[in-house]
Chain A
Amino acid sequence: MVIRTVVTGSFAVLFLMPIILTITNSLMTVSEINANYGVIFARKNGVRVFISKTVNLKFIPDIVSFSQYFKVLFLSPEYLMKFWNSVIFVVPIVVFQLAVASLASYGFARYRGKVREVIFFSYIILMLMPYQVTLVPNYLVSSWLNIIDTRWAIWLPGIFSPFAVYMLTKYMRRIPRSIYEAAEIDGAGEWQIFTRICLPNCRGGLASIAILLFIDYWNMVEQPLILLSDEQMHPLSVFLSRIKTDEISLAFAVAVIYMVLPMLVFLYGEEYLVEGIVYQGGIKE
């Protein structure tokens, strides 16, 4: 048991390492970053000061400094703008995909029929399609609707994406039929049953799905690359890949700022996340 614990434990710590390193490195001064990683990130035409010959991965900064954060937050507004772009993309998608999906899932879960079952199955197939497949239709519609290079091109396909429908339907089908019937006998209308009985019973499910959706869209790269040619509108994920060689001294701080939100969600919602993952697999009783 000791060996087992040590091996798993050290693997777990190893898994956490990249995150910890990113955080500690964000607290280093610019000169320290350059001294450690200059070999890797220095530009050829850049000034090569403080550059050592070898790379030096450091856990603990010599001097803890918030200068990187200071620069990002107060001197370089473009990072905050990209961060804001990410928020602007993710929040409406999560909220409205959940709204559309809760209606649809109720339609799939409350009463069942063969045609609906087949449609539900095609939702699953659609959900399993990679971006390489779905981006072409998305691009076509966006060009018909003339919304390419606007946020709508990202929002609309995101809102109608079938993932939440699949998940929420599975949640709703677990609500005992007798609960609905009791409400029916009490004279509740269908809309009342939906809002008063069904949705409150799915609160946990909604939270789980919201988290899964959030991490997926927060990390988005493919859609903006194809649907938005204006780099000013790109989310931080795409932008980060571009700054890493130019301003490496800031990149760690930006990276940390970028992962703060998902980490907070993780800290407070880990149980929901785990439940969501398990539900996605359809194993949970």
Chain B
Amino acid sequence: MYSENGNDRGETLREIKEKVNRALRRNADGLSGGSTAPERDPGKPGPLWDSLRRDPGKPGPLWNSIRRLTASGKGSPHKGRGGGNPGAGGTGSTAKSRREKRVSWTFLSLSLAGVLLFFVLPFMVVIYYSLIDNPVRHRFVGLSNYGKVLSNSAFRLAAANTLKFSAVSVPLAVGLALLLAVVMEKRIPWKSRIRSFFLSPLMVPTASVIMIWQILFHYNGLVNVWLGRFGIDRIDWLKSSYAQVPIILLFIWKNLGYNMILFMAGLANIPRDQIEVARLESASEFQIFWLIKIRYLSSTILFVTIMSLINSFKVFREVYLMAGDYPYDALYMLQHFMNNTFRSLDYQKLSAAAVLMALFMIVVIGVLFVSEDRFGQDLE
């Protein structure tokens, strides 16, 4: 279990949730024998179902994920309820708690002010700008700016390209990294050396290696020379429908090590005894991987997917360094669209596009959280 809120008086959310769960389960089936622990019967409907049955006010699976993300990690040391403070769960410490609040907020204030000033407030204005016709007249036009952006051909091209890129590169980066981590878990000589090699692209600025990529993928470049030996026609890598291939390779080159480290840490965290038991039961390596390891890795997979997705949105960087401001159509990314809109300073278009992307990210991350929660919860 992840750490629980140490200092709040009264029940923690987790406890409330468990009580609700238990009560619901008791109502749903009086048959289930082990009603003492909030364990989930694998055959029973998952947490998503639970959350549907739960009242809307109660914490749902998304909230769980929030808790998990904000928690410091499983079994954190200060799990105790206030430790040396015997009255923590009860009465009589209002002065103390007021002091604690004051301390917390004082320490937070600088960062909060900065975040509010540089991100939150201007984003509110961005939302406002996306709903008016222009910054001089301030007339509300409803969602028409969004309509304009969504029907803008440049935006559509950029969104489609970015999605296409993410759809290919994220699964590749996650899958390959997982594979690599599984192999690296085995006994291999020079393991830490090999790990460093895979990690080093992360440190190297993309701009430094871009020349090598040019040499490889230029029309007169090396890859075409190699292909030529097999009698394959030259491909204009950066100016054809293959244009995303070099960028995907660059992306994987850069991110594989990072993902691999995360998976290696996740694999190292799986309790050994489970795997030992499975071995004794003569489960194959493949079964152990799919039935045990993958389940324990689900939260890692989620995190790696989110990070890769976010990094895939940053791939403009690589494209810009390879192909500049006006690349071939297949490489025209959302950030290109934003840059070009910045140039004309069309605040309405910019704002609507930014809000759309923010919404998209929130939805995607939410979906990933909920699915991870559904997939990974029966382990706890």
Contact = CB atoms under 8 A, between A and B. Distances in A.
Q: A and B, one complex? A: yes
Interface of A: 1, 4-5, 7-9, 11-13, 15-19, 21-22, 25, 37, 39-41, 54-55, 57, 100-101, 103-104, 106-114, 116-117, 119-121, 123-126, 128-141, 156-157, 159-160, 162, 165, 169-170, 173-178, 181, 185, 190, 194, 215, 218-219, 221-222, 225-226, 236-238, 240-241, 244, 248, 251-252, 255-256, 258-259, 262-263, 265-266, 270, 273-274, 277-278, 280-285
B108 interface: yes
A244 B7 contact: no
A103 B111 contact: yes
A15 to B, nearest CB: 6
16 contacts: A40-B214, A40-B220, A41-B214, A57-B222, A100-B111, A108-B108, A117-B5, A117-B70, A133-B361, A137-B126, A141-B117, A162-B115, A190-B103, A222-B314, A259-B208, A273-B199
Nearest to B105: A107
Nearest to A170: B72
A259 B204 contact: yes
Given A107-B103, A157-B119, A178-B84, 17 more contacts: A12-B193, A15-B197, A16-B200, A103-B108, A111-B101, A116-B108, A129-B358, A138-B118, A140-B125, A160-B111, A170-B73, A226-B339, A241-B207, A251-B211, A262-B204, A270-B196, A273-B202
Contacts of B111: 100-101, 103-104, 107, 160, 162, 165
Interface stretch (B22-30, B31-39, B278-286, B302-310): B302-310
A68 to B, nearest CB: 12
Interface stretch (B41-49, B140-148, B287-295, B315-323): B315-323
Interface in B119-162: 119, 121-123, 125-126
B265 interface: yes
A263 B118 contact: no
Interface stretch (B240-248, B348-356, B371-379): B348-356
A259 B210 CA distance: 12
B203 A104 contact: no
Contacts of A175: 77-78
Main secondary structure of the interface of A (DSSP, over half): helix
Nearest to A86: B205
Contacts of B110: 100, 103-104
Interface in B320-362: 320-321, 324, 334-335, 338-339, 342, 350-351, 353-354, 357-358, 361-362
Given A113-B101, A177-B77, A141 B122 contact: yes
A132 B123 contact: no
Contact of B200 (A15, A125, A157): A15
A149 B296 CA distance: 49
A282 B3 CA distance: 12
A234 to B, nearest CB: 11
A18 B250 CA distance: 10
Contact of B118 (A108, A157, A236): A157
Nearest to A277: B261
A162 B110 CA distance: 12
Given A18-B209, A100-B114, A160-B115, A55 B351 contact: no
B306 A285 contact: no
Main secondary structure of the interface of B (DSSP, over half): helix
Contacts of B324: 241
Contacts of B114: 100, 156, 159-160
Most buried by A among B75, B119, B180, B193: B119
Contacts of B202: 215, 273
Interface string B155-173: 0000000000000000000
Contacts of B253: 15, 18
B214 A132 contact: no
A137 B69 CA distance: 26
A120 B5 CA distance: 14
Interface residues of B, number: 115
B104 interface: yes
B154 to A, nearest CB: 14
Nearest to B268: A283
Nearest to A256: B208
A126 B119 contact: yes
Contacts of A100: 110-111, 114
A181 B84 contact: yes
A285 B269 contact: yes
Contacts of B69: 121, 124, 282
Nearest to B302: A281
A176 B78 contact: yes
A132 B306 contact: no
Given A130-B310, A281-B300, A15 B198 contact: yes
B215 interface: yes
A244 B214 contact: yes
B80 A9 contact: no
A21 B118 CA distance: 41
Contacts of A39: 218, 220
A135 B339 CA distance: 10
Contacts of B100: 110-111
B122 A137 contact: yes
Contact of A40 (B201, B221, B335, B354): B221
A125 B258 CA distance: 21
A108 to B, nearest CB: 7
B350 A136 contact: yes
A121 B70 contact: yes
B225 interface: yes
Q: Closest 3 CB pairs between A and B?
A: A160-B114, A107-B107, A173-B72
B72 to A, nearest CB: 3
Contacts of A141: 117-118, 121-122
